[in-house]
Amino acid sequence: MILTDVLILGSGGAGLLAALHAHRADPHLRIVLASKGLVGKSGCTRMVQGGYNAVLDPADSVELHLADTLIGGGYINDQELAATLVERAPALIRELETRVGCFFDRREDGRIHQKAFAGQSFDRTVHRGDLTGIEIVARLRDALFATPARVLEETRALDLVRSADGGRIAGAVLLDHKRGELVRIAAKVVILATGGGARMYRVAAPSLEKTGDGMAMAWRAGATMLDMEMFQFHPTGLLAGASRMTGMVLEEGLRGAGAVMLNRDGERYMARYDPERLERSTRDVVSRSSFMEIMAGRGTDAGGVLLDATALGAEYVERNFRGMLERCLDFGYDLRTGPVEVSPTAHFHMGGARIDVACRSSLPGLLVAGEDAGGVHGANRLGGNGVAESTVFGAIAGETAARDAAHLAEPPDLDENQAAAIEKRALGPLGRADGEDPFAIRTRLEALMWERVGLVRDGPDLEAALAEIVELQERAARASVPDFRRVNLAWTEALDLENLLQVAEMTTRAALARQESRGAHYRSDYPAPDDERWLANVYLQRVDGQPRVWDEPVRFTRAAPPGREPVLVPA
């Protein structure tokens, strides 16, 4: 048993900033950070190519950034969370540069360079070439190891554990992959920052370990979840055959700079779908347009479309997109001289656990930050707002954790029966007789989600998908893996599969509930937004083992769409 003040699950931008800000708020705090992979070498923040949105130019404003975020989100954002994002992002950029030591690209006059990104009315995306995430995470990793925080690498969380009196979240059970050992940790405060579940789709962009662990743990613990139907597909994922690099994002800075999208006939098809913004339209529009081109038979033989950056010039591409140029060259594409085959790729979950502006969830003792949380982005995340969200709310979660931990003398006792049940369930697949192969079930889930709960949805497909997801859950509960514990990749797959199936269930149930199209959620049987009925958030909660789904109207606390009045929030 490990006792700590703050337990952080996840080592991306949110987890690392949470650790640094918790330590800064109280240098005497005991902090444990658990990472499913290696710190600085896993997670999605390090994969960010494009950049970080922040208002730095005097001609820009937080009001304009907020307006872009709300418009892009279809006005179902939690407006207080969105406002917190845009207000705190500039200070976080300065902290990353001056305190953490990040180097961002500069203009000739010495100011930070900011580039164009889709869906934004001002060029506000801070970057380090097209390797922004690596720059941020590498520096944050160094800063973390300069603190006394205890780091558990290659150690995944299995489930959250309540206190013995049942009143709060009091810790977690974890699995050390290298040693094959189960670990119980009791904490005054737990921060969930493990990232999203895009790997439930056949073509997906995030790192391989991003299997919805945090969302599934929050769901099983009874947390309130919201807008789980809102799943973003990035328009340009590299097509690289059977390689695991298929789905890797080619960031939208290319389109912001002038790269164009072409179908197999060489037609610039975005003129048909958004003639005003073309390739600089929002991600949901460009992704869905590409999908429709492919479905109409105008895709490539590999089932994609073409991204053409040749008009930018070879020198410009080499100077500004070095990382993507090198990765494309690895697979036989040359961004400088010809088009690259791409496909929409599962990228980011706008939904997640419901939080307040202090990152507190509906469960006492549990804070949530980053992609595990919902509400900031509404129906569609703007490029460049993702890493900003992770760092801003990671920092807030760390500060809140330090304050909340001060109210408890010691970590609460764990519910030993619940911890034992979690351990028993996790060990279940080892050596089970006549069990199914979890890899085969995973492959079926990925195809099912891509075909029926993907970019274009309808009621019958969603109903069929939900029925099959429940069946797959039953099959997964009987899965079998070889009977050894240390570095057992099949066991890892079985544990990942359980979480992916639960995130898939939440996504599908929420998609069935929202009978309209808005942002990333497009239903062909309800193809238009319905502001009269669906300026609302869809909520889910597991109550006595059963899913509950309901919706509540959005509160327009900062700005309202046409025809609506803002709702003032008491100070």
The token pair that represents 302 in the structure block:
């590999």
Q: Which residues contact 276 (CB under 8 A, 6 or more apart)?
A: none
Q: Which residues contact 211 (CB under 8 A, 6 or more apart)?
A: 197, 199, 200, 496, 499, 500
Confidence of residue 208 (pLDDT cuts 50, 70, 90): confident
pLDDT of residue 163: 98
Does the annotation mark 407 as catalytic? no
pLDDT of residue 570: 47
**Residue 273 to residue 270: CA distance in whole angstroms:** 5
Confidence of residue 571 (pLDDT cuts 50, 70, 90): very low
**Average pLDDT of span 191-219:** 92
Marked catalytic residue, from 141, 255, 457, 542: 255
**Average pLDDT of span 57-80:** 96
Q: Which residues contact 4 (CB under 8 A, 6 or more apart)?
A: 30, 31, 32, 150, 185, 186, 187, 188, 411
Domains (range + CATH), the chain: 2-230+350-405 (3.50.50.60), 234-347 (3.90.700.10), 428-533 (1.20.58.100)
**Residue 437 to residue 420: CA distance in whole angstroms:** 25
Marked catalytic residue, from 234, 288, 452, 509: 234
Q: What is the pLDDT of residues 21-37, one digit of tens each?
A: 999 999 999 999 999 99
Confidence of residue 568 (pLDDT cuts 50, 70, 90): low
pTM summary value: 0.93
Q: What is the pLDDT of residues 148-190, one digit of tens each?
A: 999 999 999 999 999 999 999 999 999 999 999 999 999 999 9
Does the annotation mark 381 as catalytic? no
Confidence of residue 50 (pLDDT cuts 50, 70, 90): confident
Q: What is the mean pLDDT of the chain?
A: 94
Q: What is the pLDDT of residues 423-473, one digit of tens each?
A: 999 999 999 998 999 999 999 999 999 999 999 999 999 999 999 999 999
Q: Are 541 and 552 in contact (CB under 8 A)?
A: no
pLDDT of residue 566: 65
Q: What is the pLDDT of residues 239-285, one digit of tens each?
A: 988 777 788 888 778 898 899 999 999 999 999 999 999 998 888 88
Residue type, position 53, single letter? N
**Residue 79 to residue 87: CA distance in whole angstroms:** 12
